[in-house]
C-alpha cells in the first residue's frame, strides 16, 4: 500500500511519460525508413529491385517501361534502394498515410530501347 501511494504521488508531480500526439510528434530514429519513392526518369528497368525484393512486391516490365509496387506488401527493408544501380529509389522520412484500401504505386517510364530510338 505504501509503495503504491509513493508511486501515485511521484507520478502526480513528475513529467508525463506519454506525448500529446498529434500535437507532440516524436522525431525519427536514426536509420528510419519511410515511404518508398522512385524517380522513374532515372529508372533503366533492369529489374534488380524486383529480383532482390524479399516481399516480391515490385514488378518491372522492361518492355512496357512500367514499375509497380504493392505498397502494402512492402516491409520497408530498404533492399531495393541499396541495390538500385541508378539510385532512382529512395525512402523519405514520412510514414505512408493510413489507407483503407490496397494501394499500388504505379509508374510509367520510357524503356531503354525507346529512349535509344528517340535519341537517334
Site for ligand SF4, rule CB under 6 A: 36, 38, 43-49, 53-55, 57-58, 60, 67, 69, 74-80, 84-86, 88-89
* Min CB(40)–ligand SF4 separation in Å: 8
Shortest gap between Cβ of 66 and ligand SF4 (angstroms)? Answer: 10
Q: Rounded to an integer, what distance in angstroms lies between the CA atom of residue 87 and that of residue 89?
A: 5
Q: Which is nearer to ligand SF4, 9 or 64 (CB)?
A: 64
23/93 with CB nearer ligand SF4 = 93
Q: Residue 79: CB partners within 8 Å, gap ≥ 6?
A: 49, 52, 53, 54
Residue partners of 72: CB distance under 8 A and separation at least 6: 99, 102, 103
Amino acid at each position: 500500500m505504501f509503495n503504491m501511494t509513493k508511486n501515485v504521488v511521484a507520478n502526480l508531480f513528475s513529467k508525463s511519460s506519454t506525448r500529446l500526439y498529434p500535437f507532440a510528434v516524436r522525431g525519427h530514429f536514426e536509420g528510419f525508413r519511410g515511404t518508398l519513392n522512385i524517380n522513374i526518369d532515372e529508372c533503366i528497368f533492369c529489374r534488380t529491385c524486383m529480383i532482390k525484393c524479399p516481399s516480391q512486391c515490385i514488378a518491372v516490365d522492361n518492355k512496357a517501361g512500367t514499375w509497380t509496387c504493392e505498397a502494402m506488401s512492402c516491409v520497408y527493408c530498404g533492399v531495393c534502394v541499396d541495390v538500385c544501380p541508378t539510385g532512382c529509389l529512395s525512402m523519405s522520412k514520412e510514414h505512408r498515410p493510413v489507407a483503407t484500401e490496397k494501394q499500388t504505386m504505379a509508374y510509367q517510364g520510357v524503356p531503354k530501347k525507346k529512349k535509344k530510338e528517340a535519341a537517334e
